[in-house]
Amino acid sequence: MEDQGIIDLYYERNEQAIAESNKKYGSYCHTIAWNVLNSRESAEECVNDTWWQSWKVMPPQLPGCLRAFFGRITRNLALDRYRAANRTKRGSGEVLLALEELGDCLADHADVEAQYELRELGECINRFLLEQPKRDRDLFLCRYYYVYSVSEMANKQGLTENHVRSILCRMRKKLRAALEKEGYRV
């Protein structure tokens, strides 16, 4: 089924929307959740929560890209679940490692009150990523959005782990410079 048909089912409040969403995007969302949670059961629960969350927000929200819409919801739910599970222990998981690596580029103050500022930051990061070579941009997104491990990315790209780490380090430095140039405090 096409995306517009799935969206129409949500707007009609037809429960078939969930089945069609799962059929078309279930494995995609499961991969995102698995990369964050490393648990089959937790990933499945997260995907089910994605369909519930989607049911609650459509309508009134009208997603421009259904895949990205579901992916964002799944990722946010998985990160929330991960934080809740690891609140008391600071482990060596990929999620914490990936977020800590990005911490040098993003402001560590918690005064992001207005969604406008957050949207502007997102647009700045998007502009930065669009200026980067495709391979570097793909590695950056795989690491910091989909939370792939460095070894997994190296295998998929045919690179050494050190090369991937090097690319990511350069990307973070470039991102930091781009954010500072835009007036963000990092």
Q: Convert the pLDDT of each residue in 31-43 to its tens digit.
A: 999 988 888 999 9
Domains of the chain, residue spans: 3-85, 94-181
CB 164 within 8 A of CB 157: yes
**Strands, E, within the chain: which ranges?**
none
CA end-to-end distance (rounded Å), the chain: 44
Distance between CA atoms of 39 and 110, rounded to whole angstroms? 30
In this structure, whether the domain defined by 94-181 belongs to CATH 1.10.10.10 is answered with yes
- Tokens 């895949």, residue located: 67
Asked if pLDDT for residue 92 goes beyond 60, the answer is no
**Which secondary structure element, helix H or strand E, spans residue 30, and what is its range?**
helix 16-37
pLDDT for 105:
65
102-113: average pLDDT: 54
CB 152 within 8 A of CB 73: no
Q: What is the pLDDT of residues 50-78, one digit of tens each?
A: 999 999 998 888 888 899 899 999 999 99
Within this chain, domains 3-85 and 94-181 share the same CATH topology? no
Q: CB under 8 Å, gap of 24 or more: what pairs does 59-66 form?
A: 59/10, 59/11, 62/7, 63/7, 65/3, 66/3, 66/6, 66/7, 66/21, 66/25
CATH class, range 3-85: mainly alpha
Nearest to 79 by CA among 9, 32, 116: 32
